[in-house]
Amino acid sequence: MSREQRGPNEKLGAVLALAGISNAGLARRVNDLGAQRGLTLRYDKTSVARWVSKGMVPQGAAPHLIAAAIGQKLGRPVPLHEIGLADADPAPEVGLAFPRDVGQAVRSATELYRLDLAGRRAGGGGIWQSLAGSFAVSAYATPASRWLITPADSSVAREVSPGEGSGAPLKVGHSDVQKLREAAEDARRWDSKYGGGDWRSSMVPECLRVEAAPLLLGSYSDEVGRALFGASAELTRLAGWMAFDTGQQEAAQRYYIQALRLARAAADVPLGGYVLASMSLQATYRGFGDEGVDLAQAALERNRGLATARTMSFFRLVEARAHARAGDAQAASAALRAAEGWLERARDGDNDPSWLGFYSYDRFAADAAECYRDLKAPRQVRRFTEQALSKPTEEFVRSHGLRLVVSAVAELESGNLDAACEQGVRAVEVAGRISSARTTEYVKDLLHRLEPYGDEPRVVELRERARPLLMAPA
């Protein structure tokens, strides 16, 4: 359905011309973006002509999908007012701001937490359906630069007067912060074992809304406030990571930006670097290798002399992933050597942050294998994958599944079809035990690479085993 404006939508027509998108092309892009979120849309070139020439405003998620489709072509976010659809049902750019003021930062984060719950109650992804496909790596530019310039706020103490808000002002103490940290630790464990889509992991946004938001809006000293912002940043980054793992790239981006802002309020530079590393991995996964390098190097730059050796190793490893995706073999190899060097310097007595508990030589080897996969060096992939798979663990199930797929790709590129299918079968078995869109995408990529051998019995068997996984709802 749609409603009519007064006269033609000249703004939409001008932006379509600028982007070089035809009416039929826009309709197809909007339908495709809708399908990614389970929406059945049947727009055609006539629909778009009505939007432009008669000023018709499509209802529901369509205006935001239109903006996302044009934004993908232009390579930048496109706000609704730029295409003359500002009067559409509102889906504000919540979570994309990186405010300079601490009070505004609190409002920005808590607004995002409330929006996510509203989306979940609406069913089928709610507001995130409206934002389908709206990930834009350029949205990370301002947060990263502001964090680099000022990685810590001068004071975060907050005093709420009795007349503000509803009920008595909430006085926040260290015990409140500890509960958030325990929630983050539980969520990290469930996410690693069952994937970001597991129902236990999906409780993180609820925790942010019900537990973290009231605390952030309460009263606290500077000391307690720093700890509160740090714990909230950890939970918010986790919400972003889980959204990333389940394919909700637009939600992940907003969580990451707010997590970085909260880490700045916490004056926790290593944690801020960890958020930037997460942003880098997302950008790299989405194919923006150069931007991934920038984000990883931003994490490194501010942490020189501050972060532990293990932390610096992880940041260099993330940088290597981005260089490899960008096709720079020399830079990727140099970053990998640096990452390994830092890891060799790490000691058990180092004061490593709790959120880095997943990082060991096994993880280094796994990511090194992915670097060499992107650089099309199967011998190196096999070498590092063998090391990564040498100690299978039930604690990091998703990671084990991803490593199996990378191993299968390496075997295939080395001409070992049977070994590739064998590893593929094992990967499918692991993927079926977790809820991770990212793992499913890895399996899809393997099956795509196996298409030239589609009539081989082992490939047919693998494809049949993977069918339930590929047909499962996202």
Share of the chain above pLDDT 90, in %: 64
Question: What pLDDT does residue 122 have?
Answer: 35
Element (H, E) at 3: strand 2-4
Give the chain's mean pLDDT. Answer: 87
- Which residues, at least 6 apart from 22, have a Cβ–Cβ distance to it below 8 Å? 16, 45
Q: What is the CA radius of gyration of the chain?
A: 23
For residue 281, pLDDT beyond 60: yes
Q: Which residues fall within 8 angstroms of residue 210, CB to CB, at 6 or more apart? A: none
Q: How many CB atoms lie within 10 A of CB 87?
A: 12
- H or E element: which one contains 4? strand 2-4
Question: Of 1.10.260, 1.10.287, 1.10.3470, 1.20.1270, which CATH number belongs to 2-83?
Answer: 1.10.260
SS3 sequence of 41-77: CCCCHHHHHHHHHHCEEECCCHHHHHHHHHHHHHCCC
When pLDDT is cut at 50, 70 and 90, the band that residue 36 belongs to is: low
Instruction: Mean pLDDT check: name the lowest of 128-142, 178-192, 420-434, 450-464.
Output: 128-142
- What amino acid is encoded at 339 in this protein? A
The DSSP bridge pattern shows strands 2-4 and 56-58 to be: antiparallel
CA–CA distance, 174 with 159 (Å, rounded to integer): 16
Helix (H) or strand (E) holding 408: helix 397-413
Q: Which amino acid is at 192?
A: S
Q: Please, which pLDDT band fits residue 393 given cuts at 50, 70 and 90?
A: low
Return the half-sphere exposure (C-beta side, CA atoms, 13 A cut-off) of residue 18. 15
Q: How far apart are CA 196 and CA 113, in angstroms?
A: 17
Instruction: For residue 58, list its beta bridge partners.
Output: 2
Tokens of 391: 């100690």
57 forms beta bridges with 3
Token readout for 291 is 């931007």
Q: Which residues contact 240 (CB under 8 A, 6 or more apart)?
A: 251, 252, 253, 254, 255, 256, 259, 278
Task: Please name which of 388, 417, 382, 387 lies closest in space to residue 402, comparing C-alpha atoms.
Answer: 388
Residue-wise DSSP of 88-136: SSP---TT----SSHHHHHHHHHHHHHHHHHHHHHSTTTHHHHTTT---
Report the residue count for the chain. 474
Instruction: Classify 383 as helix, strand or coil.
Output: helix
CA separation, residue 296 to residues 96, 316, 317, 369, 455 (Å): 19, 7, 9, 19, 43
Q: Determine if residue 22 is left, alpha or beta; phi over 0 gives left, psi from -120 to 50 gives alpha, anything else beta.
A: beta
The angle, 0 to 180 degrees and rounded to 10, between the axes of the packed helices 361-374 and 329-345 is: 180
3-class secondary structure, 349: coil
pLDDT band with cut points at 50, 70 and 90 for residue 305:
very high
Kindly report, residue by residue over 328-364, the tens digit of the pLDDT: 999 999 999 999 999 999 998 899 999 999 999 999 9
* Residue 133 pLDDT grade (very low, low, confident, very high; cuts 50, 70, 90): very low
